[in-house]
Amino acid sequence: MAVSDLPLGTTILTGLIAVLVYGLNKMIQQRRFYKDFPTPPHSFLWGHLNLMGEIMGFLPSARKYDMPGVFYLDLWPASCGQVVVTDPDVAMQMTVTRNFPKHEIESWFIDPPIGPGNIVTTNGPRWKYLHKIMRPMVAAKVMKFRSIVHKKVDSGEAFRLEELTQHLTFDIATLSDNIDLSEKRGLGIMYLILREHLDEMRQSKKQELDAKFLQDAITQVKTLLIAGTRTTSDTICFGAMLLSVHPEIIQRMREEHNRVFTPGTDATYELLTADPYKLKELTYTTNVIKEVLRFYPIGNIVREGVESITYQGREWPTKGLMICPVQMTVHMDPKIFPNQLKFDPDRYTREDFPHHAWRPFERGPRACLGQPLAIEELMITFLLITRDFDFTCANLKPNKTPRVGWTDLDLTFGDRAFQEFVFEANSRNGMLMTVKESNWSS
Ligand code: HEM
Residue 99 confidence (pLDDT) above 80: yes
Binding site per annotation, positions for heme:
368
Using DSSP, state whether 219 is helix, strand or coil: helix
Average pLDDT, stretch 2-18? 76
Stronger pLDDT, 50 or 226, i.e. the higher one: 50
Residue 276 confidence (pLDDT) above 80: no
**pLDDT given at position 187:** 45
Measured in Å, residue 366 CA sits from the centre of ligand 1 at: 9
Per-chain mean pLDDT for the chain: 83
**pLDDT given at position 139:** 35
Q: Which of 24-28, 213-217, 308-312 has the highest mean pLDDT?
A: 308-312
Residue 292 Cβ contacting ligand 1 at under 6 Å: no
Delineate the domains of the chain, giving CATH numbers in brackets.
33-437 (1.10.630.10)
Q: Which of 151-160, 213-222, 276-285, 337-346 has the lowest mean pLDDT?
A: 151-160
CA dist list (Å): 24 to 27, 34, 75, 114, 176: 5, 16, 15, 39, 58
**Residue 47 neighbours by CB under 8 Å, 6+ apart:** 30, 31, 34, 73, 74, 75, 76
The torsion of the CA quartet 374, 184, 129, 360, rounded to 10 degrees, works out to: -10
Residues 43 and 50 sit within 8 Å (Cβ to Cβ): yes
Q: What is the pTM of this model?
A: 0.84
**pLDDT given at position 153:** 61
Average pLDDT, stretch 238-267? 95
pLDDT tens-digit profile of 54-71? 777 767 667 778 899 999
**pLDDT given at position 159:** 62
Compute the chain's Rg from CA coordinates: 25
Which of 19, 22, 49 lies closest to 34 in space, CA to CA? 49
Residue 252 confidence (pLDDT) above 70: yes
Residue 294 confidence (pLDDT) above 90: yes
Look at ligand 1, atom 26, and give the residue with the nearest C-alpha: 228
Measured in Å, residue 402 CA sits from the centre of ligand 1 at: 30
pLDDT tens-digit profile of 362-389? 999 999 877 877 887 788 889 988 999 9
Measured in Å, residue 157 CA sits from the centre of ligand 1 at: 34
Residue 299 Cβ contacting ligand 1 at under 6 Å: yes
Residue 162 Cβ contacting ligand 1 at under 6 Å: no
Average pLDDT, stretch 27-37? 91
Measured in Å, residue 233 CA sits from the centre of ligand 1 at: 13
pLDDT tens-digit profile of 134-144? 544 433 345 55
* 435 phi, psi to nearest 5 deg: -140, 145
**Residue among 99, 361, 421, 423 whose CB has most ligand 1 atoms within 8 A, to mutate:** 361
Look at ligand 1, atom 3, and give the residue with the nearest C-alpha: 231
Residue 232 Cβ contacting ligand 1 at under 6 Å: yes
**pLDDT given at position 347:** 96
Binding site per annotation, positions:
368
What percent of the chain is predicted at pLDDT more than 70?
81
Residues 304 and 104 sit within 8 Å (Cβ to Cβ): yes
Look at ligand 1, atom 41, and give the residue with the nearest C-alpha: 366
